[in-house]
A and B are shown apart, each in its own frame.
Chain A
């Protein structure tokens, strides 16, 4: 049961986030908190246990959220994008949504070749990693364009996992059946974790989804990143047509859950492309995606990985209030100047500083950041990358939270 006191805290936190998302000034700067591999280390467990043992990872997350309170909660160790599987089953929205992300125990069943998990392919204290590989020949673009769902099922799935090599085999059917059972088991575990987190006064907003810019789907899952950027010069028309086809199926997936209120897009190829290539191949279908979601009242958030500076202005082509842009290397001060009153800016804390600074330096760093970023609202404080490594000094993390407490009041 959530106590009235914790209920009130959750409402305050939710209101704080909401105000920032409406581009206003809340009572305090909303802070997403820090996290990542360090959560497991802080609880004295391995990255392997954090990924595979739900009892232990739940205890680790709860200890972290109790000792380092913030305005939103992470739920568990997370996983790796597995969009081709969801696309393959996109005609079955009740199933597909559950297979967008694969975590360690799920991958024990699916055996996806792109996945590397601690205690499996990697050392027990390593981070889960996605390793792109080329799963498609450029001669297959026409097939992809004609029907991305069919192509994902018939051609890509068998190449992603040997369990699906023969789609008519008992192994392939048994793998999907086991994945379904595992999904149910994990759903129950997740509900338990969320209930425990709610008791700590953390709010859970309406459902959020995950999707991809169509060109990133090609880059991450079909052709790999280097081949995709070469394809832009070698087969420009095919790539463009493919992104348009993929948009349709990804949009269908993103809106399959009628309760979804927001969709997150991790951007990957943005940093690789010149403004010309970005505007020709990447942005048109991503923009269309966000506009269609906005028409349905769904907000978007983009995690602009790497340097997004050359593409910042393109965000202004979206209607004001479309959503949130999170930045990794792009200076949030610069982003805010361009996007003030139009786009919520999220991020700001360079994890490099948290890893290698002193508590005094961090205090000063956060103070300056908040001085520059809070005025005018529309800012959510968070790390520039979601993952603090295991050996991050705990006193540095504490220094971040103390500084936010000290300087974060409007």
Chain B
């Protein structure tokens, strides 16, 4: 069954994947098996994306399947120890109100085992600082779609520095208009212009790959 779930999930057969997961989750130890299999499937989808075989629509479809399946799987995992690779505070920077990219990244990051604290869109610089103080993450993810976000990321990182928190965290920036040059300009540690690369680099920054 695990094999079938994995295959139908990776092949984007939504109906079949959800059906198998519903059956599997009712078996003994099934919830853990569903969770592990879906994580594996998401990783494979990310790999296919980076290999150029899958595209954003497959990432969105996979994220949607993952969420659908987790909705009935997570309640059955109450009390189970679910391992976390680390914590990440994630938000779209001040001035930018886009969320599609952030949301695709978020579900893939969660599926990879990162505990994601989503602080939303148009996030003021100070709110990043507060969230870092509150959640003590190892990682901070900043997203932007529009070019204005580049200024905003630079300023946010300055404010984090001023608060004396920069050395405690790694920062990854993401979005359609970021690049190596933008990363150096704003003073981040890594950059990704797609979610799959973002998750892979986040795991590297956490020392897990």
State the A residues within 8 Å of B (CB).
Answer: 36-37, 116, 121-123, 125-127, 129, 131-132, 225-226, 229-230, 232-234, 271-274, 277, 306, 310, 329, 350-353, 355-357, 385, 387-391
Contacts and interface: CB of A to CB of B under 8 A. Distances in A.
Contacts of A125: 95
11 contacts: A116-B97, A122-B95, A127-B146, A131-B98, A273-B56, A352-B179, A352-B181, A356-B184, A356-B185, A387-B146, A389-B147
A390 B149 CA distance: 11
B53 to A, nearest CB: 8
B151 A129 contact: no
A385 B193 CA distance: 15
Interface size range of chain B in the complex: 20 to 34
Contacts of B177: 351-352, 385
B150 interface: yes
Contacts, number: 97
Interface of B: 12, 14, 52, 54-58, 60-61, 64, 94-98, 100, 103, 122, 146-148, 150-151, 176-179, 181-182, 184-185, 193
B147 A387 contact: yes
B25 to A, nearest CB: 22
B121 to A, nearest CB: 9
B181 A356 contact: yes
B185 A355 contact: yes
Contacts of B122: 122
Contact of B60 (A272, A356, A391): A272
A353 B185 CA distance: 10
A240 to B, nearest CB: 15
Contacts of A121: 97
A122 B178 CA distance: 22
A304 to B, nearest CB: 13
B54 A126 contact: no
Contacts of B151: 389-391
A388 B177 CA distance: 11
A127 B193 CA distance: 21
Contact of B97 (A122, A271, A272, A357): A122
A306 B57 contact: no
Contacts of B96: 126, 129
B59 to A, nearest CB: 9
Contacts of A389: 147-148, 150-151
A274 to B, nearest CB: 5
Contacts of B185: 355-356
B181 A357 contact: yes
